[in-house]
Each structure stands twice: as structure tokens, then as C-alpha cells.
Amino acid sequence: MVDLKGQYSGIKNVVNPAIQEVIETTTFINGPKVHEFQKNLENYLGVKHVIPCANGTDALQIAMMGLGLKPGDEVITADFTFAATVEVIALLQLTPVLVDVNSDDFNINIEAIKKAITPKTKAIVPVHLFGQCANMEAIMEIAEAHNLFVIEDNAQAIGATYTYKNGKKAQAGTMGHVASTSFFPSKNLGCYGDGGAIFTNDDELAHTIRGIVNHGMYERYHHDVVGVNSRLDSIQAVVLDAKLPHLDTYNKARRDAAHKYNEAFKNVEKITTPYQNGGSDSHVYHQYTLKLEGVDRDGLVKFLNSHDIPCGVYYPIPLHKQKAYQDLRYNEADFTVTNQLVKQVISLPMHTELDDEQIDFITSKVLEFVNG
Ligand SMILES: *Cc1c(COP(=O)(O)O)cnc(C)c1O
């Protein structure tokens, strides 16, 4: 699905000596390289605070801890996403409230959010799925009206741009009260191990979170709150710092590949290509996900695999149907879109190194099966 080796060859001459330097200077943890990357990412995003941590799941959990959410508080999030989002809500003994998504951009549905709000609701977690932002303007309006926190799960959309109705633009992950991201190797900005970060423009929240990631310490050996141990190590930081200057180019390569896929599928009735909910810079194609109509999706997966074409189904089971998150309050009628999408979607290979020959081969095989 991704070609990390090809991407590495382009930055090897920067990454290798930088890793070597970390080893030579033995500044493995909390070294100056982590701070440098933090500053560079703050500049790139135009956000006041980036707090690096160990992975994207931790980032979500720490963001929720930082906001002071308490057991029993209800947190609204999307039914059609990766489990990490709902997992940390449950781990903190908050009450996850799953809601349906849009059938076009796969992001959390605004009317469904409104319907799910109760006096116990404390936060909304929009997941910017597959590389483009949820409707942040509407979400922030709802949040303001009901006094709720908004935590953007930006694991899949780093570098995407959101455009407000008045034309103003903002980077994904800088619009809510706080945001989380993941630097898992296959993400748009990925390291060579695990990594993550929290973003916020709120000075006080940033201070609280910096303590939480470090055992609740604000002064050495004074533990003021219950914290965690969640760090980005220096080796990962230098990898990320080598990649960050290329992030826009990487995202453009993904967009170019997406446009070529779109072109190949444009007149095929049974295939719906990804919907773009804003201008050309709005989508960074973490995944290139098609919706199929009247096609044996699982048969297509097998057919592509038999031709050595990797593909993925993100996500095959709605979260509300997962054993761990079943809840008697849920009503199937509230999840018509997600229940449909899990049967329709298929994601094709998407990365920075896809060439025309690969795209032609992949699209020809998809068309061969679909046109049967
Ligand atoms: C990858 C991902 C995460 C978790 O990130 P990790 O670094 O693997 O913990 C969380 N949310 C979404 C939407 C993701 O895609």
C-alpha cells in the first residue's frame, strides 16, 4: 500500500547522518533534536504549541486528559473510523457517543452531531478521515453554542487545508481547541517507528499537557496530576525533521496520483471516486478510497491481491458493531451511511512514489474486474 523504501532513498543523505549524530551524542530522549522538530512543525502548521509524544493514540488520550474530561462525560465521535479514537474515550471512562458520517466525504455528519448532544456532552472528536477535514466551521459553531471542546483527530490529514466560508484558510489540526496526530510510518508524515503529537493554540492547555506527557511533573519530582510517560525519541525527531520540508511535495505527489486514478475511473458508473469537499489543497489522500455500487467488493480485493496489487478495506466494521463498543443505546437506523460504506469501500495503493506504470496497471485490473 505504501513505498517507504522509495521515499527513503530521496532523503537518505540527510536522514543517515542525522541518526548517526543522535547516536554519537547519545541524546536519545528529550534531546535538542526533538525541540528543533517541534519548532519546525509549529512554524509549518502556524500553531502556537506542538507537544510531541509517543504515538497518535497517546496524543488523543493526553489531549482528553489535558481538557480535564471526567468519567461519565459524553464524547461524540464518528462511527466510521479507526478504533483508536473511541478506545481512548473508553479507557478514560468517558462515554463514547458514536454518530453517522457523510456518504460523500466520509466525515462526521453535522446533523447527527446535533442529534446526539445531551446535557452530559463535553466534547466532539472529528476525525479528518482519509486526508480531508470534517466540516470544522459547523462543528465549531455547535461547540460554541453548547460549550463543548473540539479535539481534531488529525492522524490522517496533516498538511491538508481547510477553507472557511469567508475564504479564510487554516491548516488541518489548528482549528479546534486541541488536535492530535500520528507519525506512524505509513501516515503522510511518518517516522521510522512510533510517534505522535498534540497541537494547540491555548497556552494554558499546552502547559498542562507538557506536564501530563511527563508523569504529571511541572517541577522535577513534583507530580501535580496523574500523567503518563509518552515521548517522541530523538531518532524519530530527526527522521521527521528530514521529511517535514518535503511534506507539501509528498502530499502533492499523492494528489497527482489520486487525479490519475480519478481520470481512469471517471466514466465508470459502478465506481464513485473520492469526493473533495474543498479546493485542490483540501485533500492530502492519506487513503484513496473508492465507493463501489453493484460490484463484489470482496471479490475485487481477492482479484487485485492475486495480481500482487495490495488494497485495503478501511473500515470493514462500524465501530458501533465492534464487540468492545456495543451499546444498547445505539439504534441501527442512526447508522445507515456507515452500515452501507463498510460494504462499499475499497482503498487502492497510495503513496509518494506511485508512477504512471503502476497506476495504469492498478486501474486496468480494477476495470477488468468491475467491467467483468
Ligand atoms: C493512525 C491513527 C491513529 C493512531 O495513531 P497511532 O500512532 O498508530 O497510535 C488515531 N486515529 C486515526 C484516525 C488514525 O488513522
CATH number at residue 137: 3.40.640.10
Q: Are 222 and 263 part of one and the same domain?
A: no
Task: Report the DSSP pairing between strands 288-292 and 345-348.
Answer: antiparallel
Q: pTM score, two decimals?
A: 0.97
Cα-to-centroid distance, 155 and ligand 1 (Å):
5
Cell numbers that stand for 329 in this block: 443505546
Residue 195: how many other CB atoms lie within 10 Å: 31
Co-location of 42 and 30 in the same domain: yes
Written as one string, the DSSP assignment of 330-359 is --GGGGHHHHHHHHHEEEE---TT--HHHH
Q: What is the pLDDT of residues 202-214, one digit of tens each?
A: 999 999 999 999 9
Q: What was the pLDDT predicted at 275?
A: 97
> To test ligand 1's pocket by mutation, which of 88, 107, 184, 315 has the most ligand atoms within 8 angstroms of CB?
184
Ramachandran assignment for 215, one of left (phi > 0), alpha (psi -120 to 50 degrees), beta (any other): left
Same domain, 87 and 169: yes
Residue 3 CA to ligand 1 center (angstroms) comes to: 19
- Domain shared by 237 and 304, yes or no: no
How far, in Å, from the CA of 84 to the mean position of ligand 1? Answer: 6
88 three-class SS: helix
Q: Name residue, grid cell 500482487.
A: 308
Count of residues making up the chain: 372
Within 13 Å of residue 79, how many CA atoms lie on the same side as its CB? 31
Amino acid (one-letter) located at 133: C
Mean pLDDT of the chain: 97
- Ligand 1 centroid to residue 57 C-alpha, Å: 6
At 169 the pLDDT is 96
Nearest ligand 1 atom to the CA of 127 is: 13
Q: Which of 182, 183, 194, 347 to mutate to test the pocket of ligand 1 (most atoms within 8 A of CB)?
A: 182
Query: Cβ(34)–Cβ(181) under 8 Å?
Result: no
CA neighbor of 204 nearest in space, from 183, 240, 178, 179? 178
Domain boundary among 245, 262, 287: 245
Q: What pLDDT is stored for residue 277 in this prediction?
A: 92
Do residues 315 and 231 share a domain? no
Q: Is the dihedral of CA 129, 133, 138, 144 positive or negative?
A: positive
In short, whether 182's Cβ falls inside 6 Å of ligand 1 is yes
pLDDT 10s digits, 172-229 = 999 999 999 999 999 999 999 999 999 999 999 999 999 999 999 999 999 999 999 9
Q: Please compute the mean of the pLDDT values over residues 292-298 and round it to a whole number.
A: 97
Which ligand 1 atom sits closest to the C-alpha of 59? 9
Whole-angstrom distance, CA of residue 3 vs CA of residue 186:
9
Q: How confident is the model at residue 372 (pLDDT cuts 50, 70, 90)?
A: confident
Q: Is the CB of 352 under 6 A from ligand 1?
A: no
Tell me what the mean pLDDT of segment 67-94 comes to. Answer: 97
pLDDT of residue 1: 81
233 and 257, same domain (yes or no): no
Ligand 1 pocket: which of 107, 129, 156, 186 to mutate (most atoms within 8 A of CB): 156
* Omega cis (within 30) before 288: no
Q: Are strands 178-182 and 196-200 parallel, antiparallel or unpaired?
A: antiparallel
What mean pLDDT do residues 104-129 have? Answer: 98
For 356, the domain range is: 247-370
Choose the final residue of a domain: 245, 279, 311.
Answer: 245
**How many domains would you assign to the chain?**
2
pLDDT of residue 280: 86
| Model confidence band, residue 90 (pLDDT cutoffs 50, 70, 90) | very high
* Vertex 47 angle, CA 126 and 152, to 5°: 10
